[in-house]
């Protein structure tokens, strides 16, 4: 995992905490096991859940 990816993950988690919403961020723990496309889609899905305040898939 690159430092840029790690920073993005930390920002997504921080945004969820700041917004005080309940979003499942556990998929982010498996990013190293995913292809780059899957990782981007996962980060996007979690971040969209934070923005919409809906549970992530």
Tell me how far apart the alpha carbons of residues 21 and 6 are, in angstroms, rounded to a whole number: 21
Q: Is residue 48 part of a domain?
A: yes
Residue 57 lies in a domain: no
In a domain, 10, yes or no: yes
- At 2-55, the pLDDT tens digits run 778 778 777 877 776 666 567 787 888 888 899 989 988 998 888 888 777 654
Q: What is the pTM of this model?
A: 0.58
Range of the domain at 41: 3-52
How far is the C-alpha of 25 from the C-alpha of 43, rounded, in Å? 9
The answer to whether position 8 is within a domain reads yes
């Amino acid at each position: 995992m690159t430092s840029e990816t790690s920073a993005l993950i930390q920002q997504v988690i921080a945004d969820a905490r700041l917004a005080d919403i309940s979003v499942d961020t556990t998929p982010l723990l498996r990013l190293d096991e995913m292809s780059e496309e899957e990782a981007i889609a996962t980060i996007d899905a979690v971040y969209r859940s934070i923005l919409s305040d809906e549970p992530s898939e």
